[in-house]
Amino acid sequence: MPTHPLIVTPGGMGEIDGFGGFARNVAAAAPDLKVIIWDRRNMGRSGINFGSDPLSMEEAEDLHVLIDRLGVGPAAFYGMSSGARSNMVLAERYPKDIAAFVIAPLTGGPLAAQQLPQEYYLKYVNDDSLTSMEEVAKTPLWAAYAERNGAEGRAELMRQDVSEFLAAMKRAGEHLQSFGQKTTLGMTDEQLAALTVPATLILHHGQEVDYLHPITHSRAATTLLQNSTLEFAPTLEPILELILPFVRKHTPAQA
């Protein structure tokens, strides 16, 4: 049976184990969707590679390769918070890869640009004790990575150069910080306005107080993104009611 491909990108510094329940619920509710959940590099069970560009840009290139190898383009994308950043970069660089785009929710604002770079990346740069990958492996995120991936994953982590690790964290953190006065982290307003995604659905939980995902920034994004709408969906049921017909309408079915 032909299916509509939907790629789910977890948010935060999350991975498949933490967000797999959502993807399984989508797949159970819609057998005509081919739901793919993706571990970004350096997370979950994906390999380690710090690259030379800010990580959201590196991740977009990974996504492009994934789409090509799976043969699922153009696909729909469901990007959760920070997971949407690599999707937006993909849309800018490889517009033919994307049929439709769900941002759930959009991250933006000066507080997000201050807090998230520190929480995700710069805390490593500012920690003088991290002089080796052995010390990095003791931090909560990387200790969990090593445990999840066993001896092979820990060995891969230990093979990395700590100076390259710290440089990547600095690069990624400073990149996000630079968007504090923009509508969303990771893209300028001019870049957002230039995207040519056929359809974009921005979802928000509807709570007025969310300093990392302000409703005002979601509303502003609809004035910049072509063919975009904003909807409110606080729980799984209304999310499914919105995204399933959206994906079916805008994403070609594939054999």
Tell me, what's the pLDDT at 57? Answer: 95
What CA–CA distance (Å, rounded) separates 81 from 138? 27
Tell me, what's the pLDDT at 245? Answer: 98
pLDDT tier, 61 (very low <50, low <70, confident <90, very high otherwise): very high
For residue 16, pLDDT over 90 is answered with no
Tell me the Ramachandran region of residue 42: left when phi exceeds 0, alpha when psi lies from -120 to 50, beta otherwise.
left
pLDDT > 90: percent of the chain: 94
What CA–CA distance (Å, rounded) separates 189 from 83? 18
How many degrees, rounded to 5, is the angle at CA 184 between CA 127 and CA 33?
105
What CA–CA distance (Å, rounded) separates 105 from 113? 15
Buried b (16+ CB within 10 A) or exposed e, 55-69: bbbbbbbbbbebbee
Tell me, what's the pLDDT at 176? Answer: 96
Tell me, what's the pLDDT at 255? Answer: 85
pTM of the complete model: 0.95
Angle between helices 55-70 and 83-93 (to 10 degrees): 70
- List, in order of start, the domains of the chain with CATH numbers: 4-108+182-250 (3.40.50.1820)
Strands of the chain (E only): list them: 4-9, 33-37, 75-79, 98-103, 200-204, 228-232
For residue 70, pLDDT over 90 is answered with yes
For residue 216, pLDDT over 90 is answered with yes
Rounded to 5 degrees, what are φ and ψ at 60?
-65, -40
For residue 42, pLDDT over 90 is answered with yes
What CA–CA distance (Å, rounded) separates 218 from 48? 32
Per-residue pLDDT tens over the stretch 91-126: 999 999 999 999 999 999 999 999 999 999 999 999
Nearest alpha-carbon partner for 104 in 84, 118, 88: 84
